[in-house]
Structures are given as C-alpha cells and as structure tokens.
Amino acid sequence: MNECLTIGEPLVVFAAEEADVPLAAAKHFTKYLAGAELNVAVGLSRLGHSVEYITHLGEDPNGIFIRQQLTAAGIGSDNVTTTSRYPTGIEFKARVTHGDPNTYYLRAGSAAAHFDPDAIDRVDLAGVKLAHITGIFPAASASTLAATKRLMKRLITNHIMITFDPNLRPALWPDQQTMTSTINELAKSATIVLPGAAEGKILVGSDDPETIAHFYLDQSPQTQLVIVKVGKQGAYLLGRDVPGQLLPSFPAAHIVDTVGAGDGFALGVISALLEGRSPAEAASRGNAIGALAIQSAGDNTGYPTRSQLDKFMKTSLNETG
Ligand code: KDG
C-alpha cells in the first residue's frame, strides 16, 4: 500500500481563457483535473511520495480523462471504482485578474456522490502513514458522509495520522448549521486540522487564528496540531507540544488563479511531515506551495517538483533574509 491515502470527488474543470468576463460570456476553456483531495494527491506524487486515491467515477469521457490523469500522475487507483449510471462531476471556472474566480459546478448526483460506504472496508491500510480528508467529500451525499466517517474510524483504529481541511462548500450542504456541526464533528477525529481564518469565522465564530486553534485542540484529545491559514499573513501554528507561532507567507511573483492554494498548503504540510520535518517547517512549506499554486491556471498545475520547491524556498528565504 502507498504511504498516503485520500478520498474525494474528482472533477474535470473547464477554466475560462478570457479574463474578467462572466462565465456566461466566456467562449474558450482549457480542461484540467480538479478536486481538492485529488489536487493534494497530484502534488504528493509530483514530490515523489506514493499516494492512493479512493473515489467512484462515471464511465463517461470525463471519467476516462480522470483515470488517464491518475495513471499519468502515478497515483494509486486500486480503490477507484466506476459506474455507468451516474456522471463524473464537472466544474467551470472563470478567470480573473484580481480576487477569487467564480465557479459553477455540475456535480449533484454525480458518480462520486454515489460512493458505496461498504467499499471503505475493502481499503488496504497496511503501510499507510497519513490520510488526508476534507469537508468536501462528506458534503456530497449521505453515503459520502457515511463513507468518510467509516474511513476515519478505521484510520484511528489503525493509528494512522489524519489531516483534515474543512474546505467549506456551503452550496453542497442543506444549511449552515448542518455544515458547521458536521465539519466540527469530523474534525474531532483528525490529528491535524487545517482551517482557514475565514472558515474559522463560520465554524468557530471567530477569525482569530489563536481562538480557532484552541477550539480544535480543546474539542478533541485526538487533535494534536492546528494550522490556520491566514492568507497574505501566512499560517498560524499551535499544537499540544508546539508553541503558537505565525509562519510568514512567501511572495508570489504574479497571481494567475487562487483556486488550489489551500490544497497546495495541505500538500506542503503533509509532504513535509511525511519527510520527518517539524510542524513549523511543514507550515512553512505549506505557505511556499500555496504561493506557487496561485501562479498557474489549473487547480494543481502550479504545484512544484522537488527541485522547483527547493529552489523557490531557498530563493524566497534568501530574499526575505
Ligand atoms: O480546492 C480546490 C478545489 O476547490 C477544486 O479543485 C475543485 O474540489 C473542488 C471543489 O469542490 O471546489
């Protein structure tokens, strides 16, 4: 089995070429692979880590595209099942020169949303060191929520580290209260929680990083570390044995597209931890990959190779002293 595992809904994203026009007016699109957890898997594999992806794909051209991309990226797909009954999810993404782009999804009732929770019992966990879970997959349907809970239970029983990114998608939840209580409940099973400060405002009632970190550490003995993404300021880190500290962000030469930055952050944290780095080094690498992610149009196309990462971190740290 691979050293890392993740479960999620893969998407084909059509990213508009024309900048600063509404999606309705865009005529030219480039096709990319997307999906928060899959973005992390793509980045881990690019950095030389072995990773397994669990999902359910439609037997349609988009499902075929995703499978080809998984193979090309070297991601383990023994736990990728298919169905001819439901379609693979699709996302359309606008292009903007400032801020976050509008997105439009065709994912309700997708193949991934019909993931069978019983499939979790067949996942081989031997050798898995870390599993990455986000709040997107459990939002897709009752069965994906059940599957996520079942997987987290198995991971805890097998003493496997869990990183959890709330990745709030309000449109996928029936209401904000359900979203908040379910996400916070899932976070209780995580070893490391990776919320954004703006998400903290919704989930915890405060965007103060220290308050958010204390909330997640206090609510569960399972949680050892919280790293709060604080946008341009970087990331705030607090753990049971780790004093609170703010790790500064890395400069981005230019911003092309902000989507995928949060997954890039998770990728940096996870890859560094798998390599035995300290929590502070992990958060710093998260900041670095977040900065690289926003310099590229695809959701995961900006994630670095090992040499690109080393060069970027060295150059940026030298520049900032
Ligand atoms: O975090 C990036 C993701 O938002 C993107 O790749 C698509 O999974 C996706 C989603 O739900 O938005």
DSSP 110-160: -TGGG--GGGGGG---TT--EEEEESSGGGS-HHHHHHHHHHHHHHHHTT-
User: Best substitution site from 6, 11, 55 to test ligand 1's pocket, by max atoms within 8 Å of Cβ?
Assistant: 11
According to DSSP, the residues that pair with 161 across neighbouring strands are 130
Q: Looking at the CA of residue 299, tell me the nearest atom of ligand 1.
A: 6
Testing ligand 1's pocket by substitution, the residue of 12, 53, 144, 169 carrying the most ligand atoms inside 8 A of its CB is 169
β-pairing verdict for 11-19 and 29-34? antiparallel
Give the model's pLDDT for residue 316: 85
- By CB atoms closer than 10 A (0-12, 13-18, 19+), residue 108 is exposed
Phi-psi group of 127: left, alpha or beta (phi > 0 → left; psi -120 to 50 → alpha; rest → beta): left
| Measured CA distances, 292 to 11, 172, 181 (Å) | 21, 28, 33
pLDDT per residue as tens digits for the range 21-58: 999 999 999 999 999 999 999 999 999 999 999 999 99
Q: Is 257 in the pocket of ligand 1 (CB under 6 A)?
A: no
Mean pLDDT, to the nearest integer, of 124-137?
98
Closest residue CA from atom 7 of ligand 1: 35
pLDDT at position 257 is 85
Does 60 qualify as catalytic in the annotation? Answer: no
* Predicted pLDDT of residue 320: 63
- Catalytic residue (one of 78, 263, 299, 310): 263
**Pairwise CA distance, residues 106 & 235, whole Å:** 32
Confidence of residue 321 (pLDDT cuts 50, 70, 90): low
- Nearest protein CA to atom 10 of ligand 1, as residue: 35
Verify whether ligand 1 is closer than 6 Å to residue 39 (CB atom): yes
Asked if residue 37 has its Cβ within 6 Å of ligand 1, the reply is no
At 152-205, the pLDDT tens digits run 999 999 999 999 999 999 999 999 999 999 999 999 999 999 999 999 999 999
Q: pLDDT at position 1, please?
A: 67
The CA distance from 307 to 291, in Å, is 16
Q: How far is CA 115 from CA 94, 173, 197, in A?
A: 29, 17, 31
Confidence class for position 75, pLDDT limits 50, 70, 90: very high
Centre of ligand 1 from the C-alpha of residue 168, in Å: 10
What pLDDT, in 10s, does the model give residues 211-236?
A: 999 999 999 999 999 999 999 999 99
Residues 6+ apart with CB under 8 A from 193: 164, 166, 187, 216, 223, 225, 226, 227
Query: How far, in Å, is the centroid of ligand 1 from the Cα of 167?
Result: 8
According to the model, what pLDDT value does residue 317 have?
A: 72
pTM of the model: 0.96
Distance 243 CA to ligand 1 centre (A): 31
Predicted local confidence at residue 287, as pLDDT: 97
- pLDDT, tens digit (0-9, with 9 covering 90-100), for 236-281: 999 999 999 999 999 998 888 888 999 999 999 999 999 999 999 9
In the numeric block, which tokens belong to residue 206?
């405060």
Average pLDDT (107-125) is: 98
Strand partners, 92: 14, 104
ipTM of the complex: 0.95
